[in-house]
Structure 1
Amino acid sequence: MIRRIELLNFKAHGKASFKFGDGVNFIYGPNGSGKTSIMEAISVALFGSQWVRKVGGKWADYLRRGATSGEVKLYMSHMGNEILIVRKFGENGTTPSGTYMSINGSIIARGDADVTAAVINKLGIGIEEYRNLLYIRQGELRRVLQEAEYIDKILRLDEFDKLDELLRELLNELRAKRERVGGKWEELERRRQLLATKTESLRQRLAELEKKLGELAGVKEKYLEAERRYLKLKEQYVSLAKEREGLEKKFEELAQAAIEAERDLELLEKEIEEIKRASEELKGLPQIGDVEREYYELRQLISIAEKIPPEARSYDPVRLEEARRRLEEATKRLAEVNTRLELIRDVVRLASRAEGGVCPICGSPLRPEAVKRHELELAGLEREVKRLEDLVQQLRAEVRKYESLDKLYQAYKDYLKIDLTSAKRKLAELEELYRKKTETEKRRSYLTALVERERDVAERIKEVRRRLEENEKRIKEVSSRLSQIDREVEEVKSSLEEAEALYQQLRVKHDEYLATEALVRELKAQLKDAESELESVKTELEKMRGEIEKLDKALATGKNIRNTLGEIKPLARQILLRAINEELNYVFLKLRHKESFKSAQLVELNGRYVARISTPTGYIEHNLLSLGEQNLLALSIRVALARALLGGAPFMMLDEPTEHLDEEHRRRIVELVRDLTSVVPTIVVTSHLGEFEEVADVVIQL
């Protein structure tokens, strides 16, 4: 059934592939080489996250150290179909896109949960059957004989106990609810009686108050008429008082306005007098000519003259002409000396090439004294050239200096003739005259503006006088209305006092009427609420009575179900044991190594399971068998359980079944595994010893 498994970064395996075949598949290698990891990889491939949670691990435990992702591929054959299960995973779980199951090349499921469901559906193997029957982990071979509840767990008979416990808890909850509902029903019944008493009392009290309300009904109309008259007179009185207050305020405002108008009139008359004086003064103001232009022109000249540099004032244009003349003479003298210098240099050069004291050009004799004289003259001329060149440079600098001064002199030439002392004196006189003219013009402008206001002030005086006359007229009107209001207030006040006295008398009776009317409304509302609450309580009582009946029925039904479950569990165990024993005898007879062992049987004695072997001398219970015989019986029971529950054991995996056994018992386990292939087509077994090599059909050495 299991054909091949491919691993990538799974525990100790980086990249590996292992092939399996029918018969015994022996995985051989030292401890820590990854034998158990192959079986774990098959488990992970089949059940994914369910297996990881079942063994209490996490995905990171299956990942090779340093790797970020791993992958398991399991190839199987089942009922003529080729099945491939792939699960790609990381530290936090499988990758949906890399987890799938295919049959004959067609993908039928994707994702962790869907692939696991497809495995269970197609192979007919659940995780509990796989873990307890098909995958026997190290040290768990004889667990089926040692733990009393182990077989019940495989047969799912423990589910009856779980269901019974659930029913017991449910019945306890129902009893508690029955007690709560019964207590609430009693409380509501007491409340119903109290509400009935309260409703009758409210009806009696309401009848008394309605009778009293009828007796006080006539007072209401009289009170309302007296109230209307009283309020009307009070409103009239308040209106007159407010009007009087407003007129008094208006009178004060008019009086204040009259005072302000008289003050304004007095100020305007003073302003007219001031305007007349200004008119006279305006006529006597002097006329001063245009000194402004002359003042600013002179101030400009003085400003420029004061800025003339001292060197411009002391400069004489003759100096520039003299410097230029001297430069010209020195330049001419330098040219002459240079001409003579070139001539002497040629002479000296020719004399240096002369042979035998004869000139090389004309053939004339050259005396040493003449040559020496020319050399001395050459040296003197060179010194003269140097002196003249320095003089020319000096004179050129002097000319440039005088040219700069001359340019400055020409710029200020027209201002050098000004007498600053006389000019400043004249400027002071013009400034004083200009200041007087400015002050006079300012005064003239002010007086002119003042005189121009004369007509406007006269108009304002007329307006103020008109306002005074109008205010006096309105003051008389207000005074007249105040006198009239005082008379009306006295008349209304007398009528108001009479109406108020009657209103207060009737108010006491009316308040009693209103209080009674409000109490009647309140009692009606209370009666309505009490009647409504009473009906609600009655409805709730009926509802609770029905709920109590339902709870009583549910409790009776729950008790019956528990009793039935207690009867079904032993019956189910007997049926399952008969089916298991049929398979057990078949398997046991295939695997037995003693002819004296006639049959094997699994029975229940005093609440525990006992496996026993039939011999000619009687039954032998499993705890009296040797270790090898116990292993035989344990394997037979597991295969029988698989055949009874799954229809057969398609494969079986044993992890280190010979661990901690001596040589004789290891040999018997090897023989047992070999014989097991007669009832189980594919067996995978691991060991760090080589005892299975002789019986193995496929050997995988790590």
Structure 2
Amino acid sequence: ADIRVIEEQEKRLADLIKEKEDKRNKLVNSQNELNRLKDEEVPLIANIEELENELKVLEDKRNKYFVLDNQLSLALQEKNEISAFLEKVKSLDEEIKNVDNQINQLSWVEKASAYKEELATLVKQKGEISRQINKITSEIEKVKKNLELKNKLYPKFEEYQKAKDEYDKIMQVHENYTRLSGEIKSLKTQLNRLKQQLDKLGKIEDIEVVKRKIEQLDEEVKRKREEKAKNIAEKTRLENVLKNLENAEGGKCPVCGHQLDKDHIQKLVEESTERIGDLSSNIINLEKEVKQGEKYLEELRNKLNILTKAWQIKSQYDTSQSSIEEKEKELESMEELEEKYFQLQRSLKDLEPLFNQYLSVKEVTEERLDELLRDLSSFQSNLQELEEKEKELKEKIGDEKVLQKAERDLQILKQQYSQLLNKRGEKHAKEERLNDLNQRIAELKSKISSLNYTEDYYKKVKEEHQNLDKRLRDLQNNISALEKEIEILSADIDNLSKKIDEDKKNVSKLPSLENAIKKIDKLRSDLGGTGLQNFLISALKSKIENNLTEILGKFDLAYSTVELDFDLSGRRNKSRAEIKLFNNAGQDFTVNQLSGGERVALGLALRLAIANSLMEDVGFMILDEPTVHLDDERKKELMDVIRSSMGIVPQIMVVTHDEEVRDISDYIIQVEAKGNGSRVKEVIPDDQQGL
């Protein structure tokens, strides 16, 4: 087959050489066209740069032209607006003079207005004084009534004060009486509760008797625990003796080294076995007795806690009863004062409204009444003076309607005069602005003329630049296309050269390949069929058995030793293996006698043993869908086996759809279908949360 491939490569080599020559010719033509286009590009770029420089100058002039033209338009517009305004205000000075004469004719109005303002102020003062007189008159009446009430209530006030002083003196006695009553009530409630608790508890035993029982039982339980520990130690020792007797080499005692015959060994085994049985029975009985003792000990301790609580309750009951008797005697001595307290309380309640009424008028005095009468006389005198002055001002003002009309006319004239003065100032400012505008317009026209710019010439140059620029872009696009084509052709030629060199090397290998094929045919003849497999099995059998026994020892199984028996019947036939298993007593089992979990453990251990025999260290193990076709019981057994295997293989990777495998996992990578693809995420197991 390899020779046929090389012959095909010889044919392909000729085709590649021809294809390379065609592409080389095409490359030369493309390079010539590229050189021609680049020669045409240089003068075109120079013309464009020349037009760009000219356009830059024209655009600068154009910007200046538009700025100046806009400024000229604004200046001419403002000039026309000012000229129209000045035409409207030709007669402004004459209008100002007429309004000023009218204002002078009404000069008397300002003096009359001052009298009018003085009259308004006087009327306000008069109204305020009248209100004060009414207020004082009302207050005088109130003070007279309160003085009469004060004198009438004074005896009740004194009676209240006397009762209040006596009430305050026995207040502390009442508070103590109330406190003692509450305490007695609380103590009686507590006493009833304690009596109910004592009634429930019934007869109270002696605590010391119970304590002695606890101490005696505790000693007994400790003694049985020690006896149980001694039996366990003796049993362990005898089990080790039995194990050593089973493994004794050359009939020698594993303890003392003396020579033993089979009968002697059998006798020792039987005696040890019988003794182990007796010890096991004793251990079970002692364990039951310890548990019963501990249970009874717990009951006694609970009883002791209840008795302790009962004695505490009885002590509290006696204390509470004694305290109630003492407090009731003290309460009886206070009853007379307590009755007096409530009598005073009722008296104060009856007198309190009259007392509060007296307090409300207590501060009212004869001196305050005299003061108010003096204030009333003073305000009445002031009111009379203001009424006389009011009469004088009304005579000076005259007809109020005529004055009001004259005031309105004067106010209108003053507003007109102010507006006219403002307009005259605006006129002077406009005249000055008009002179400035005439100078500005002349300057702008001169600057526009000196620019020597026309919009038509600018558009012509710009259009010529756009045409040349488009022509240059088309030319450069053609150059880029040719350069890309040249790059692709060069790459194709390089690839063809590499393929040609590679095919030449392969064609040169033809003689050595023919020789290698002959050697392979001979090796296939010698190791065909199961020859190589049988060789490996015979060489590694003992190593696999040792590894398998060592691995099974790490599982908690009923057997500990395994033997493999391979039937190597011939080079062309497949080998078969028989597996035997032995327990510690030397009994043998076949695979069919094993439970489902034991078979799973054996299968996994056998694979690990073969792997360890073929390589120095097994770094990891991959289990692909190991739970398929297993029922729930077999799955559980497989999980236990995998847990046990974690101490043998550093890493175990399980590929599965079974959620139960999560329970034994330290690290999970979960793959889920998501649309047309898959989503991969890391999952932290529950028992690893927070680590």
TM-score band w.r.t. shorter chain: 0.3 to 0.5
TM norm structure 1: 0.35
Q: If each structure's strand is expressed as a fraction of its own residues, which one has the higher value?
A: 1
Higher Cα Rg, which structure: 1
Structure with more contact order per residue of length (Cα contacts < 8 Å, sep ≥ 6): 1
**Larger proportion of helix:** 2
